[in-house]
């Protein structure tokens, strides 16, 4: 499955399009922000006779009579904020009051924000950014109207290719580590826009299928930062085509927002008789209270409201979906579909039923939540997932295709759950477990070689991303990863390695018992709860997936230190030497010396083969060191293999040395190969 901007990634990878300009912190002749529009439902010539605001003590106050007008918005030719200021701002609380007028494709938002200065220097400005289709109207600081200028930034974090940045001037600089409360209002239309993709030469149909975010009566889909910036953010402007900078910034945004308190109060005005039937906020369905009196005329809008209550954001961009869809129920999932897609429902529910026993075997009999499938408007729209929600066209497909999609999507429902009121899971487990079980499903259906080939297909990108040494770069420790190549690709490899080290039963037990809120290193031991669960789970000698393998140790501290808590790059293994010696009764003892020139330790399978049999044992090879495994085998040994593709390396992850007459036992006879594709 390819999510976020899949079409763009494919175009860029093929070299079909390129940008001539790099990311800019200012605009090259950008359109000026339009004067602030009246709030939704407000007559531009009327007087405000009732106002509600927050005073200096954070209390909501109401006032009758004419309200004091906010200062005029100042338009700036160049931005006032600098990148260090943008990077310093961290949102620790977002309380949003969102009003949608779907017939007009309009959104009006009041945002109560708490920000923290995570920079080293005091902040004179607080930069706040929204989509360029939206206009800032008012920003209050400590209950008083704030002074701010608005500039247009070129940034492909939004589908228009630009952001409106308000630089709020503070009367007193915000000290490092200090927090500040802001009260901001903004509004404007959000229509489908593929401007950023058309600018880099993408075909219009491909661009629109990727950038389908919009507000409308039958469908409103706002995916958040990286697609449409409908809530305030503070980010460094980046542009598609400038390497992976945009995708890195998307990951950094989600990582910095993880753990923030979030609440959204939603009001939807819709044409009479066209009430929405489903609303999803941050991937979770929320109950809609609908008022649509049949005695009213067509000119009177219906109103639907919802409230998330206070939640905690995980590694995700806040998203908002409101749609008119028909509900259908399947095994552990709810489908919300268009009427014309009803013929495909049976195939999707059958696929969910087929994969459920496999997921139950790994993650428990009952999912922590129900998967929600939301039918996208166009059959070509790119899928999008967040939490236990998948927005995708509900079209007919083969059972293999649907089962592959639903193994990944249902894993989130089984493992993550619906409640985000407690600490959400780290990205490497949330996405990594789904990626891992996806490869295990391939193994179940098509064999181990096909599953390892699926892993190998992504290994090259991981090897390119990893630092050559810890001294060169800190890389991305998996526990804090923000790039998909780490929290998906590397995480899947890590879980494969833990499976081989601990066994299927122990890994399954740990995944079932895992508590997101408790997964923080202990102040005394430094061990995460997941590490301790793995060490405690299962019985010594358990190798349900690999008969004959014996546990060499249960202490996993070395593994988590090298592969999860720090980024030490990838191992670089080689068969240094092989010494076979004849024993009694036709047995041979083969000593295999394995070298590791990388900075990460690795436990790998060592396999010795004769003409009639093979023996596999596991060997822990330290970083920047050697280790020897002695294998007793019946018959004349003819081949030694180290690593089978389950441990990612800098180069191909299978090493073979032949011991027949065509090759000697020197290191030069060792060759690297890749797992079958």
Q: How far is CA 352 from CA 219, 341, 370, 392, 638, in A?
A: 25, 17, 12, 15, 46
Extract the tokens encoding 239: 């542009």
Q: Of 374, 375, 483, 385, which Cα lies nearest the Cα of 434?
A: 385
Q: Distance between CA atoms of 636 and 639, rounded to whole angstroms?
A: 10
Q: How far is CA 423 from CA 139, 364, 426, in A?
A: 30, 21, 9
Q: Quick one: angle between helices 491-502 and 427-446, nearest 10?
A: 70
6-40+68-324 shares its CATH topology with 573-673: yes
The CATH label, of 2.60.40, 1.20.950, 1.20.1260, 3.40.50, for the domain at 573-673 is 2.60.40
Q: Show me where the domains of the chain are located.
A: 6-40+68-324, 427-563, 573-673
Residue 26 CA, chain-centre distance (Å), reads 29
| Phi and psi torsions of 561, nearest 5° | -65, -40
Neighbours of 585 (CB within 10 A): 5
Neighbours of 420 (CB within 10 A): 21
Domain 6-40+68-324 has CATH 3.40.50.720: no
Extract the tokens encoding 549: 């393998």
Burial (CB count <10 Å: 0-12, 13-18, 19+), residue 674: middle
Extract the tokens encoding 674: 């890749």
3-state secondary structure of 256: helix
pLDDT of residue 521: 52
Q: What is the DSSP letter of 571?
A: -
The β-bridge partners of 304 are 268, 290
The β-bridge partners of 269 are 101, 303
**pTM for this prediction:** 0.84
Burial (CB count <10 Å: 0-12, 13-18, 19+), residue 582: exposed
pLDDT of residue 675: 61
Q: Are strands 89-101 and 261-270 parallel, antiparallel or unpaired?
A: parallel
Residue 3 CA, chain-centre distance (Å), reads 10
Q: Of 606, 671, 656, which Cα lies nearest the Cα of 633?
A: 606
Query: In three state form, how does the secondary structure of 435-487 look?
Result: HHHHHHHHHHHHCHHHHHHHHHHHHHHHHHHCCCCCCCCCCCCHHHCCCHHHH
Burial (CB count <10 Å: 0-12, 13-18, 19+), residue 137: buried
Neighbours of 71 (CB within 10 A): 12
For 512-558, the DSSP string reads HH--GGG-S--TTT---HHHHHHHHSS-TT--TTSTT--------HH
Residues of the chain falling short of pLDDT 70: 1-72, 294-298, 417-423, 516-527, 538-554, 661-677
């Amino acid at each position: 499955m390819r999510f976020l901007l899949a079409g763009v990634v494919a175009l860029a990878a093929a070299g079909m399009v390129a940008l001539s300009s790099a990311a800019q912190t200012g605009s090259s002749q950008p359109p000026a922000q339009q004067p602030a529009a009246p709030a939704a439902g407000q007559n531009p010539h009327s007087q405000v006779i009732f106002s509600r605001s927050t005073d200096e003590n954070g209390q909501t106050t109401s006032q009758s009579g004419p309200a004091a007008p906010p200062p005029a918005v100042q338009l700036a030719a160049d931005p006032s904020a600098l990148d260090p200021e943008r990077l310093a701002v961290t949102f620790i609380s977002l309380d949003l009051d969102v009003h949608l007028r779907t017939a007009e494709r309009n959104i009006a938002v009041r945002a109560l924000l708490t920000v923290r200065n995570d920079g080293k220097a005091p902040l004179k400005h607080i930069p706040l950014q929204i989509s360029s289709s939206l206009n800032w109207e008012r920003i209050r600081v400590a209950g008083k109207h704030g002074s701010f200028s608005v500039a247009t930034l070129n940034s492909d974090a939004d589908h228009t290719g630009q952001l409106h940045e308000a630089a709020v001037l503070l009367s007193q600089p915000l000290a490092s580590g200090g927090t500040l409360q802001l009260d901001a209002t903004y509004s404007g239309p959000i229509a489908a826009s593929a401007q950023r993709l058309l600018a880099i030469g993408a075909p219009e149909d491909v661009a629109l299928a990727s950038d389908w975010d919009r507000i409308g009566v039958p469908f409103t889909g706002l995916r958040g930062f990286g697609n449409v910036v409908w809530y305030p953010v503070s980010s460094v402007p980046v542009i598609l085509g400038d390497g992976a900078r945009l995708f890195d910034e998307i990951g950094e945004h989600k990582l910095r927002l993880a753990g923030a308190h979030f609440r959204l109060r939603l009001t939807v005005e819709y044409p009479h008789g066209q009430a929405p039937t489903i609303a999803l906020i941050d991937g979770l369905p929320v109950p809609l209270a609908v008022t649509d009196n049949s005695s009213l005329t067509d000119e009177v809008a219906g109103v639907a409201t919802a409230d998330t209550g206070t939640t905690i954001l995980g590694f995700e961009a806040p998203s908002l979906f409101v749609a008119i869809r028909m509900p259908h129920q399947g095994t552990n999932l709810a489908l919300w579909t268009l009427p014309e897609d009803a013929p495909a429902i049976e195939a999707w529910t059958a696929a969910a039923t087929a994969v459920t026993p496999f997921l139950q075997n790994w993650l428990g009999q009952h999912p922590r939540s129900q998967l929600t499938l939301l039918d996208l408007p166009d059959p070509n729209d790119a899928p999008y997932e967040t939490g236990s929600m998948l927005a995708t066209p509900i079209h007919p497909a083969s059972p293999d295709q649907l089962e592959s999609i639903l193994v990944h999507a249902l894993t989130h429902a089984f493992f993550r759950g619906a409640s985000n009121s407690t600490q959400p899971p780290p990205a490497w487990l949330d996405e990594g477990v789904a990626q891992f079980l996806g490869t295990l499903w391939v193994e179940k259906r098509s064999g181990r070689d096909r599953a390892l080939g699926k892993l190998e297909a992504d290994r090259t990108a991981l090897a390119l991303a990893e630092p050559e040494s810890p001294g060169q770069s800190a890389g991305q420790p998996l526990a804090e990863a923000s790039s998909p190549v780490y929290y998906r690709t590397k995480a899947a490899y890590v879980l494969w390695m833990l499976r081989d080290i601990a066994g299927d039963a122990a890994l399954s037990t740990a995944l079932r018992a895992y508590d997101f809120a408790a997964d923080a290193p202990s102040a005394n031991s430094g061990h995460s709860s997941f590490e301790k669960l793995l060490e405690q789970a299962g019985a010594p000698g358990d190798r349900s997936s690999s008969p004959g393998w014996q546990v060499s140790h249960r202490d996993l501290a070395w593994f988590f230190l090298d592969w999860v808590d720090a980024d030490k790059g990838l191992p670089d293994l080689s068969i240094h030497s092989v010494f076979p010696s004849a024993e009694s009764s036709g047995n041979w003892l083969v000593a295999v010396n394995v070298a590791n020139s990388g900075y990460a330790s690795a436990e790998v399978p060592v396999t010795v083969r004769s003409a009639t049999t093979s023996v596999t044992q596991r060997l822990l090879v330290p970083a920047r060191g050697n280790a020897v495994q002695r294998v007793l085998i019946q018959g004349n040994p003819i081949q030694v293999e180290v690593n089978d593709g389950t441990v990612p390396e800098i180069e191909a992850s299978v090493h073979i040395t032949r011991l027949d007459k065509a090759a000697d036992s020197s290191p030069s006879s060792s060759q690297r190969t890749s797992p079958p594709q």
